[in-house]
């Protein structure tokens, strides 16, 4: 996937770029830094490092006592930390909970197949969910759980900076549109939405699980997938005006003992440079 195009020229050293108060059309409150590593840095490598810090925070999350006590894994998300295309599903299922990686079950296989048909692989995109923990028995996410988990998703959106956010099914679509309109009415229609401080092309489509056993829905999902290359080829949406403020001191994390040997993107699809040890990348599900 192409590198992200920044609207403004590169910031001078010692400066970071913050959004000016924008006119918002979607989620109004903006970036909740509760779980973030601070204001998102600009370079892909630094954003990836910040994503790893959010990942580490999510691993220890106990905001939803029932989910925290029944989960095997926190399924943070997986893929290219600098992806132009991000999928947002509902919540991990049994296989995802066992493996710690989203969309590895039947629905995931279908997702991969449909991606393959448009020449995209999992390693090109980032895949996340509205909830990072499996609801017991695959029950629906509860409103309080969606709220508890929301800022992990916001941080992911902010740090990965996708151009296109593809919501899979009702839960992700309603959450990110902040509207009750269902997927049957909305699927296949891209719209510009402001999520936190960023404008993205939001593209709701049916959840692959819903298409597994219904040929007509599968056909619709396939047709909606076919439009993704066209959306990805569009220019990045105009972003709210940026203002520059001095870069804060960033606390350095101590180097793990064995971090040096295998670091960097390589063939992983992950930005190289100040990348993590590969073992950390494996945990993140970054390829
Ligand atoms: N369904 C989802 O919504 N997410 C997953 O990760 C798997 C199945």
Strands 126-129 and 85-89: parallel
What pLDDT score does 55 carry? Answer: 97
Locate the domains of the chain by residue range: 44-237
- Is 239 within 8 Å of 202 (Cβ atoms)? no
| First-last CA distance in the chain | 14
Question: In the structure, which protein residues have their CB atom closer than 6 angstroms to any atom of ligand 1?
Answer: 89-93, 96, 102-103, 105, 107-108, 129, 209
Ligand 1 centre to CA of 130 (Å) is: 9
List per-residue pLDDT tens for the chain, 287 residues long: 443 322 222 333 333 333 333 322 233 233 344 444 455 678 999 999 999 999 999 999 999 999 999 999 999 999 999 999 999 999 999 999 999 999 999 999 999 999 999 999 999 999 999 999 999 999 999 999 999 999 999 999 999 999 999 999 999 999 999 999 999 999 999 999 999 889 999 999 999 999 999 999 999 999 999 999 999 999 999 988 765 444 434 344 444 443 333 333 333 333 333 444 445 555 556 64
* Phi, psi of 166, rounded to the nearest 5 degrees: -105, 110
Q: What are residue 87's DSSP bridge partners?
A: 127, 166
- Is 81 within 8 Å of 287 (Cβ atoms)? no
What pLDDT score does 242 carry? Answer: 62
How distant is the alpha carbon of residue 211 from its chain centre? 22
Tokens coding 201: 């092309």
**For the segment 134-192, what is each residue's pLDDT rounded down to a tens digit?**
999 999 999 999 999 999 999 999 999 999 999 999 999 999 999 999 999 999 999 99
Q: How far apart are CA 244 and CA 248, in angstroms?
A: 12
What pLDDT score does 216 carry? Answer: 96
What pLDDT score does 197 carry? Answer: 84
Give the DSSP letter of residue 37: S
Which of 182, 173, 163, 184 is CA-nearest to residue 230? 163
Tell which CATH architecture fits domain 44-237: 3-Layer(aba) Sandwich (3.40)
- Which residue's C-alpha comes closest to atom 7 of ligand 1? 103
Q: How far apart are CA 60 and CA 32, in angstroms?
A: 18
Ligand 1 centre to CA of 129 (Å) is: 7
């Amino acid at each position: 996937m192409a590198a992200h195009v920044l609207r403004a020229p590169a910031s001078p050293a010692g400066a970071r770029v913050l959004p000016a108060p924008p006119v918002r059309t979607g989620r109004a409150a903006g970036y909740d830094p509760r779980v973030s590593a601070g204001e998102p840095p600009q370079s892909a490598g630094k954003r990836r490092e910040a994503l790893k810090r959010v990942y580490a925070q999510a691993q220890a999350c106990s905001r939803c006592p029932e989910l925290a006590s029944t989960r095997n894994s926190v399924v943070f998300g997986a893929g290219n930390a600098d992806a132009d295309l991000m999928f947002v599903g509902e919540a991990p299922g049994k296989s995802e909970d066992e493996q710690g990686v989203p969309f590895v079950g039947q629905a995931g296989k279908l997702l991969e197949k449909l991606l393959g048909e448009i020449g995209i692989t999992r390693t090109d995109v980032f895949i996340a969910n509205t909830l990072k923990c499996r609801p017991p028995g695959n029950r629906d996410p509860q409103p309080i759980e969606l709220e508890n988990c929301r800022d992990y998703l916001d941080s992911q959106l902010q740090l990965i900076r996708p151009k296109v956010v593809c919501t899979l099914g009702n839960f992700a679509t309603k959450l990110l549109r902040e509207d009750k309109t269902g997927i049957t009415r909305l699927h296949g229609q891209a719209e510009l939405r402001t999520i936190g401080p960023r404008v993205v092309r939001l593209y709701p489509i049916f959840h692959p699980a819903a298409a597994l056993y219904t040929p007509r829905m599968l056909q619709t999902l396939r047709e909606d997938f076919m439009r993704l290359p066209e959306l990805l080829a569009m220019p990045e949406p105009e972003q709210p005006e940026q203002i520059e403020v001095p870069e804060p001191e960033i606390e350095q994390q101590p180097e793990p003992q064995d971090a040096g040997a295998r670091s960097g993107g390589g063939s992983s699809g992950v930005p190289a440079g100040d990348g993590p040890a590969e073992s950390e990348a494996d945990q993140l599900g970054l390829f």
